[in-house]
Amino acid sequence: MLASHQLLLCGWRIHWMQSFKRILVVIEHDKVNKSNSAVQRGVELAKKDNASLTLMTVIPHPKKLVADLVGVISEEELIDKFKNMRESELSALADTFRDEIAVQTVTSVGREFIETIRQVVLGDHDLLIKMARVEEMGFDSSDFHLMRKCPQPVWLVKSRKTKPKKLLAAIDLSLEKEQEGKQLNARIMDLSLSLASAYSADIEILSCWSIYGESSLRSGGFFRFSDEQMNDLINKEEQANLQKQNDFIARYTDTNIIGHVRKGDPKIVIPEFVNSNEVDILVMGTVARTGIPGLLIGNTSETILNKMSTSVLTLKPVDFQSIIT
């Protein structure tokens, strides 16, 4: 369920900026410490929105063979010892914030992404934050499982900076033709504005466009455009997309938003822009449907995310329901 919203007024325009009520921060079971950037981001947002904060860690289920080989402790006893140790560490960490925010702890045993999503659903959390596990080719499989299957926004923190200073909202203006697309773009902006407000950060928008069948129009086949015709078409499409983005930004006249329109494949354009413009957080939607209920992330999204060197916050359409409960 979406959290409540703060009302912003500017002239006759009224905008809603999302705030959070129940934030979940997941910490790797062997890295429970206050220096965790995800914990810091969670505490900062909880203070700003007067939200509750839940600190969670998931202990991997020990393989029975390992416990049997030890020969001196049962699997159940081993799990209990691990849980008690992690619960003590989490509680000590939570104690450092109890005077400032409402905080609780959860320790589970199992696969991290499954237990995390179960907690999101059970605790009715409206934001999940965790440190990203970075591999050579991008995020690891567990993080992608969260982005695919978690029903609420997922903020994977990569940056070690104290606070984010620049947010980039990736807005697909072609989605504005449908209600679901409009809602997704609006939610991307709601989250971006909320984070920008929390951290006094700059917010920018990036939209990509392309001409369908451009290579065929240039090379011939059934019909070939001359260079002059192609240039005219490109100029018209560029101006049309600039106007679309200007109209979109005009909905948010109470904020200082910088817009960027780029021609090209989003899988190439977005990572290049992010990595060359000191973007701290990329906020983007995952919209491509797999045909399987509860699974939702597009090939474009995954390709983009695997090229990212920054933190990302992904979210899904409002009607998304997770298959994990």
Question: Distance (Å, rounded) from C-alpha 190 to C-alpha 186?
Answer: 6
Architecture of the structural domain at 1-131: 3-Layer(aba) Sandwich (3.40)
Quote the tokens at residue 193: 């504005």
Domains 1-131 and 163-325 fall in the same CATH topology: yes
Candidates 1.10.1130.10, 3.40.50.620, 3.40.50.12370, 3.40.50.970; CATH matching 163-325: 3.40.50.12370
How large is the angle between the packed helices 37-49 and 179-199, nearest 10 degrees?
Answer: 100
Q: pLDDT tens digits for 266-282?
A: 888 998 999 899 999 99
Q: pLDDT tens digits for 177-225?
A: 888 888 889 999 999 999 998 899 999 999 998 876 666 666 666 666 7
Question: Please, are residues 154 and 51 in contact by the beta-carbon 8 Å criterion?
Answer: no
DSSP assignment of 268-280, as one string? HHHHHHHHHTT-S
Instruction: Tell me the average pLDDT across 309-323.
Output: 81
Write down the domain spans for the chain: 1-131, 163-325
Place 80 in a pLDDT band, splitting at 50, 70 and 90. confident
Instruction: Give the global pTM.
Output: 0.84
Report the percentage of the chain scoring pLDDT > 90.
44
